[in-house]
A = this chain, B = another copy of it.
Amino acid sequence: MATNPIPYKIYLSEDEIPKQWYNLNAVMQHKHEPFLNPATLQPCKPEELKAVFCDECVDQELNRTDVYIDIPEDIRSFYKMYRPSPLVRAYVLEKALGTPAHIYYKFEGNNTSGSHKLNSAVAQAYYAKKQGLKSVTTETGAGQWGTALSMACAFYGLDLSVYMVKVSSEQKPYRKEVMRTYGAKVIPSPSDTTEAGRKILKEFPGTGGSLGCAISEAVEKAVTTPACRYVLGSVLDHVVLHQSVIGLESKAAMDKYGVQPDVIIGCVGGGSNFGGLIAPFMGDKILGKNDIEFIGVEPASCPSLTRGKFVYDFCDSAKITPLAKMYTLGCEFMPSANHAGGLRYHGMSPIVSELYHEGLMRAVAVEQTKVFEAAEQFARTEGILPAPESSHAIRVAIDEALKCKETGEAKTILFGLTGTGYFDMAAYKQYNDGTMTDSIPTDEDLAKGFASIPDIPQNK
């Protein structure tokens, strides 16, 4: 048990940055179904994936045996520039809520990318460099992933082309400037630099673009450029693996003070932050070592876990990626335009999907006005202005703490505060102005999305 008083912020030393990532895949008793090649409906072969992704990332993606995977010293050096991230005891929020619960959050926003995305960006850029590649490509919507990858590529001396959804690049010109400051080439998508882009531009001359189209362009650019690969910021197993640094540090910090979480809460979009946060704790649960309650929080406007189907689907709306067995709203599902809070992805990490399917975690969908209410309360008490995505976790952490207030239970709640909201002030403005509304898809809306799920034997 804890003997020392717990500080506001528990910082580990740089020596305590994990030396290995935690591969949840290796611990899971039921492994998730393999990715399928959409043309053959056979499991993707390593060499097929290696034409698109870096070799080492593919090896990690397919590794289902090693629980611990070494973090190269070069990556740990970069981690030292912004890690260990603090585990914060939310004393002020607890007091404001009048709850007996103990609330902790792992804060991943203290770096210029503003989020946890950097944890995987660094790793993927490093592996690309090590493989002798000259450049990588990616797509970005809101821009956090693009920013993180720009930072990593600047560090390792890799050229980077970011296909940014055109409407986002116009609405968030400053995100684009952060990426440019780090030397990235930011290309509004659709563009005339790829076949896919040119085709879309011809068909829909005035289009603002879509993430699906940006993915198509980034992948095409990668596979048609010598010494170039495509990198992805969420969903895939190797991204969840890299993000396990969040959970490992959280566990080390809590262990130091003899604290054991009763509940762990994280927001889920593609699932990489949540998967990384829970990884070592969930591994222990699978091994019968704890009985922690895990809660993934998704927006009510994009409820892939709570209202989606557990089937094979494309990872992108342009239907060019492999098929993944996951909870999905259908690859063509688009959340309502009035949804401001990120987490707009139609599917879910296959690992997280499998955990959910097995009942090892539960999921909650929350409405965005309630999310921003929690964000405001958190900002005013804990000082940090949270990203809308992260605020989904805050909402449910507060709700759980308020339940404790009713029952008198002094539960220990840990949640992931993935990032800051400095580039999301347009959404805060809506909330401050009282013009923000909620958008919950009707069953009809969902049916339209489900119609885009491929009609293949595996889904029967």
Binding site for B on A (CB under 8 A): 7-9, 11, 13-14, 80-82, 92, 110-112, 114, 151, 154-155, 173-174, 177-178, 180-183, 375-376, 379-385, 420, 422-423, 425-426, 428-429, 431-432
Most buried by B among A81, A381, A384, A426: A81
Q: Are A80 and B112 in contact, with the CB atoms below 8 A?
A: no
| B174 near A7: Cβ-Cβ < 8 Å | no
Question: Quick one: given A81-B382, A81-B383, are A432 and B111 in contact (CB under 8 Å)?
Answer: no
Chain B residues, CB < 8 A from A9: 14, 80
* Residue in B closest to A11 when the chains form the complex, CB atoms: B11
A177 and B429 contacting across the interface, CB-CB below 8 Å: yes
Name 11 A/B residue pairs within 8 A (Cβ), A-sorted. Answer: A7-B14, A81-B92, A112-B420, A154-B380, A155-B381, A173-B429, A177-B425, A177-B426, A180-B429, A181-B375, A181-B432
Q: Are B112 and A380 in contact (CB under 8 A)?
A: no
Q: Please state if A181 and B112 are interface contacts (CB–CB under 8 Å).
A: no
A-B CB proximity, top 7 nearest: A174-B425, A154-B380, A177-B425, A8-B80, A112-B385, A422-B422, A180-B432
The answer to whether B426 and A174 have CB atoms under 8 Å apart is: yes
Taking the closest CB of chain B, its distance from the CB of A32, in whole angstroms, is 34
B residues in contact with A178, CB < 8 Å: 385, 422, 425, 428
Known A-B contacts A14-B7, A80-B9; A182 and B423 likewise in contact (beta carbons under 8 Å):
no
Known A7-B13, A9-B80: A384·B112 in contact at CB below 8 Å: yes
Known contacts being A181-B376, A422-B423, A425-B173, is A383 close to B112, with CB within 8 Å? yes
Copies of this chain in the oligomer: 2
Query: Across the interface, do B14 and A380 meet the contact criterion of CB distance under 8 Å?
Result: no
In the bound complex, what is the Cα–Cα distance between A274 and B111 (angstroms)? Answer: 24
A185 to B151 alpha-carbon distance, docked (Å)? 36
CA distance A151 to B383 in the complex (A): 7
Known contacts: A110-B110, A173-B429. The answer to whether A380 contacts B155 by CB under 8 A is: yes
Most chain B CB neighbours (cut-off 10 Å) among A155, A181, A182, A380? A181
Query: In the bound complex, what is the Cα–Cα distance between A383 and B112 (angstroms)?
Result: 7
Chain B contacts of A432 at CB under 8 A? 177, 180-181
Measured CA separation A420–B114 after assembly (Å): 11
Q: Is the CB of A7 within 8 A of B385?
A: no
A132 to B410, CA, bound (A): 35
Chain B residues with Cβ below 8 Å from A183 are: 380
> Which residues on the B side are within 8 Å of A431 (C-beta)?
181
List the B side residues contacting A151 at CB < 8 Å: 383
Which B-chain residue is minimally distant from A90 (CB atoms)? B81
The distance in angstroms between the C-alpha atoms of A455 and B353, with both chains bound, is 76
Partner of A111, one of B114, B383, B429: B383
Q: In whole angstroms, what is the CA distance A177 to B379 when docked?
A: 13
**Inter-chain contacts of A426 with B (CB < 8 A):** 174, 177
Tell me the smallest distance from the CB of A445 to a CB of chain B, in Å. Answer: 30
> Which residue of chain B has its CB nearest to the CB of A426?
B174
In-complex Cβ contact of A181 among B8, B110, B379 (8 A): B379
State A177–B154 Cα separation when bound (angstroms). Answer: 31
CA distance A13 to B8 in the complex (A): 10
Least distance between A330 CB and chain B CB atoms (Å): 34
- What's the minimum C-beta distance from A419 to chain B, rounded to whole angstroms? 12
Using known A-B contacts A81-B92, A112-B385, determine if residue A379 contacts B8 with beta carbons closer than 8 Å.
Answer: no
- Residues of B near A154 (CB, < 8 A) are 379-380
Q: Which residues of B contact A423 (CB under 8 A)?
A: 422
Chain B residues positioned under 8 Å from A111 (CB to CB): 383-384
User: Contacts of A14 on B, CB cut-off 8 Å?
Assistant: 7-9
**Contact status B380-A428, CB under 8 Å:** no
User: In the assembled complex, how far is the CB of residue A308 from the closest CB belonging to chain B, in whole angstroms?
Assistant: 32
Kindly list chain B residues whose C-beta atoms are within 8 Å of the C-beta of A82: 383
